Structure 1
């Protein structure tokens, strides 16, 4: 009779979940025993970095990824990074070790008491099988739940289950397939087409799902066909539209009142692949201008249900975009040239202005570079200088949780070895995921890390002004030298002091990871 472990390994192999990100403990070792030759275990030195690496890998590859966590302690360490994966709708399968079954009730050391409850409400599904015989089926459900919901799923398995023998029914999971289709029916499609056709001045709001689902180029065609301006949804984690396209208006303000102001003069707001809306700053007001209607199209039923305004259609955005492209007449006016990039601002004091850094990235790195960004205080400078015209060019921590940037970039680079990848991180955020440098070094990941050092939590300083708290303590972090930290983890690093030196360093060829530290002036997100 086969063991639970053998059936589980075979199922994961058939599902393509052969790259495992993890930081194992004793409870996890029985699952890891005898991994088939085609599996790859990617070790991270902290569970936050592990989940962020897996998040980046899954987003860049478009496939579910297995994450191996240690009981309650490892699962707890992963929670902060998990918030970003949830907001990005990343299909992670979190597999955690549990004490042997007889030890769970007495709460022996390393027993996770009520393990599924620990991860709720973040994950879309969480369970611990009632018996060893149910482990293969439950593992299959975790994979399918993650894929169907596009949200992390969590399974806790007592470690004595892996060696248990199972009957012939357990192998039935090997041939399972679960798929989802979301095409609007005829009446729904007709109503939507009539709404869009009747609009005199429609505006599109595109979310990160557009890029995640491979609809970047289709969104460009739709905007040009409708002759509609385009906003990216607030709290942007993936870029769904070329940011210098003549119809692009930028990232929608993350406050109710300014977002409403952005819709003035438009009779229809068509939201594709985004919640309505992930506001941040509390700036109350009307949701929409008088006379403006909003229609949301999303495959995320929860996002549709919780929206505070507008109509919603839970459907595959790809099917809806295809429908609108078929029904809308060809535009008589060309889109026009892409907007030019302005000259970068320069700093008055010591250090480079972040715009000078981003201009150097734009000019020196290949046009198809994928950027993983976690430097929130330089947000305005970033969008002023970058010219991103390709799908999969931009990744950002979806829930705003620091610690995604460095490990997320490692995951993206591992998933897309065919594409240059650069991490752009601030000195404040770098500390949250710094251990990912060790993984990058061990796997010779071709990654450029550009670390902007300004010695403070710049975004918090800006928020202090918004909230009327100018004197909050704990906002400065002087004395950090990331070149020495990086070298300790095995990553070559150097400190560059001017724009010319930065451009020259970026132009150098490298076949592994590298870190460039740049001192920058303090700027604000907007």
Structure 2
């Protein structure tokens, strides 16, 4: 069979049509020599967002994808640049954030010689942090590969993908049939059959004390369709179920002020087991079962606790160490079960069984939880939160009202450097919102150059450095592990105000709740980025 005829367009022309068809005309990048032919050929309808470090580039793209709900396009250099971005890629991988990472490769015929800036085995470099990775075997297959990559990134379970393209491929003639790529669509019909829906409904209706554990897939679906959030509330009320957020939450899938909301599950085996004790049926929706962090040796469940998991991620289903798993569309499953289950007619009082205590005031300074309390005093529909304060992650959803989809974001894998660049990307993706990023002083150093992009583009972002002069989360772990004298956990004084001002971001330092409240009020009125260095008591 003869090859497909070549058209009048180049590989670059056909590839840009693919990106346009997927709405991927904003590119986050830090260019190298291998990427120049691609970047030089972009049309006027493409926007290039420069980041000064590849980890920040990937983080900004993640924020943009979270805000828009669409795959974001990332342009990185070959092995060295791609390697620099892989720390941030862990967050996108475990957070199921759709990214298409397009990496430059040396001239095709020289790759095997391992010339300077060649990546001799490019597709294996980002594994296992991407769900698809490829370097096309010929220039003519580049547009099709990029089309596949865009669909792979967006198709559930969504996540980052990686494509390496030799720099001399872009000027090669494209295939005439490449015009069909921009007309393609891929639909996933993950509805549950009637028999399974009826079986699950019977189990839930027969439960004496059911619980719902909701995860990030619920919130991600609700960003696109707010009725998903409403279905979660209806299901909880009809079952009179206690609602928990799955351990290590990257998003908030349920309104934190609802009477059925019982908080976040602490990410340890014993902690989860004890919290779910007494529930005979636990329905996990849109989450892994479970993403533990603390090592707490124990049995996973108390006898008599049955766990049913519904997830869009086949890998989450297969790797679970217990329970029954169903791979299905989470939004559709929530809607089906909310309609099919029997309403028990019981409604709870205010805010479930939780009590939120005020932080103790100290003459020595401000507690970290006081920062959260000040943020909560100024919650409105224009504010979105990005959190990278691991010392406050369990307090965040207890103390701040999160009551709409897409309002809260946290790194999915613990890869530091998430907060600052993701906040910038979210502000670019949804410029009507004010993005408030709370970031620990330790993790801030991993993504600090994102301030440059924020200043250059005037993003409406408030960066709050929760500064306890050390790695507070690690200090807590060291205490629990019985190794409190571990070196390297204190940082001393870092002048974040001067650093921010050097990048062009107005900044101030606060040491009391009153000072922070005043600075935060002022920041909310600003038209561009502002940084507040909030000094808090050590962990």
TM-score, with normalisation over the residues of structure 2?
0.94
Q: Is 1:438 aligned with 2:445?
A: no
- Given the alignment of the two structures, is residue 199 of structure 1 paired with residue 213 of structure 2, yes or no? no
Question: Cα offset for 1:321?
Answer: 0.9
Q: Does the aligned pair in 2 maintain the 1:365–1:507 contact within 8 Å?
A: no
Partners of 1:344 and 1:385 within 8 A in 2: no
Correspondence 1:217-236 to 2 at 5 A: 217-236=230-249
CA distance in 1, matches of 2:109, 2:365: 60
Give the corresponding residue for 1:309. Answer: 322
**2:202 maps to 1:209:** no
User: For residues 119 and 424 of structure 2, what CA distance do their matches in structure 1 show?
Assistant: 30
Q: Does 1:387 align with 2:401?
A: yes
Name the counterpart of 2:252.
239
Q: Spell out, residue by residue over 1:28-82, the C-alpha distance to the aligned partner (whole angstroms, 9 max, x if none).
A: 1111123122211111111101111111111121111100010011110011100
Cα deviation, 1:209-253, whole Å, max 9, x if unaligned, reads 110111333212211121100111001110111223221111112
Q: What displacement does 1:479 show?
A: 2.0
Are the counterparts in 2 of residues 97 and 156 from structure 1 also a CA contact under 8 Å? yes
Alignment of 1:79-98 (within 5 A): 79-98=86-105
Preserved contact between residue 347 and residue 521 of structure 1 (Cα < 8 Å) = no
Structure 1 residue runs without a partner (length 5+): none
Is the Cα contact below 8 Å between 1:366 and 1:420 reproduced in 2? Answer: no
Post-superposition offset of 1:505:
2.1
State the alpha-carbon separation in 2 of the partners of residues 354 and 384 from structure 1: 13
CA distance in 2, matches of 1:166, 1:255: 53
Report the TM-score, using the length of structure 1 for normalisation: 0.97
Once the two structures are TM-superposed, the CA of residue 343 in structure 1 deviates from its matched residue by: 5.6
Q: CA deviation at 1:376?
A: 0.8
CA contact (8 A) 2:387 2:393 kept: no
Q: What is the SS of the residue equivalent to 1:105?
A: helix
Equivalent residues of 1:364, 1:503 under 8 A apart: no
Shift of 1:354: 1.3
Q: 2:356 & 2:306 partners in 1: Cα distance?
A: 35
State which of 58, 66, 69 in structure 2 corresponds to 1:62. 69
Residue by residue over 1:131-181, the C-alpha shift from the partner in whole angstroms, topping out at 9 and shown as x without a partner, is 001000001011111111301110000010001112312222121111212
Partner of 2:288: 275
- Please name the residue that 1:503 is paired with: 517
Q: Distance in 2 between matches of 1:263 and 1:161?
A: 56
* Residues 203 and 270 in structure 1, CA contact (< 8 A), matched pair in contact too: yes
SS state of the match for residue 376, structure 1?
A: coil
Q: Which residue of 1 aligns with 2:145?
A: 138
> What is the alpha-carbon root mean square deviation over aligned residues?
1.5
The residue aligned with 1:424 is: 438
Q: How does 1:333-412 map to 2 (within 5 A)?
A: 333-338=346-351, 342=356, 344-412=358-426
SS at 2:113 equivalent: coil
Correspondent of 1:513 among 499, 518, 529: 529
Q: Report deviation, 1:347.
A: 4.3
- The equivalent of 2:5 in structure 1 is none
Q: Does 1:479 align with 2:504?
A: no
* CA 90–380 in structure 1, closer or farther in 2 if over 3 Å, else same: closer
C-alpha contact (below 8 Å) 1:354/1:381 kept by paired residues: no
Contact 2:417–2:447 (CA<8 Å) still a contact in 1?
Answer: yes
Which segments of 5 or more consecutive residues in structure 2 lack a partner in the other structure? 1-7, 223-227
Distance 1:234 1:341 in 2: 20
CA gap 1:384/1:167 in 2 versus in 1, 3 angstroms = closer
Deviation at 1:470, TM superposition (A): 1.1
Q: Shift in Å at residue 4 of structure 1?
A: 0.4
Q: Is the 1:341–1:387 Cα contact (8 Å) retained in structure 2?
A: no
Give yes or no for contact 2:465–2:533 (8 Å, CA) kept in 1.
yes
Cross-structure match for 2:184: 176
Residue-pair matches, total:
523
- In 1, Cα distance between equivalents of 2:269 and 2:99: 31
- Aligned mates of 1:299, 1:394 — CA distance in 2: 21
For 1:12 and 1:315, locate their aligned partners in 2 and report how far apart those are by CA, in whole Å.
28
CA shift at 1:462, angstroms? 0.6
The whole-number CA distance in structure 2 between the counterparts of 1:286 and 1:343 is: 31
Confirm whether residue 72 of structure 1 aligns to residue 79 of structure 2: yes
CA distance in 2, matches of 1:185, 1:512: 50
Which whole-Å CA distance do the structure 1 matches of 2:404 and 2:480 have between them?
35
DSSP 3-state at the match of 1:213: helix
Could you say what secondary structure the match of 1:414 adopts?
A: helix
User: After alignment, is 262-271 or 210-219 more displaced?
Assistant: 210-219
Q: Is it true that 1:160 corresponds to 2:134 in the alignment?
A: no
CA distance in 2, matches of 1:479, 1:465: 23
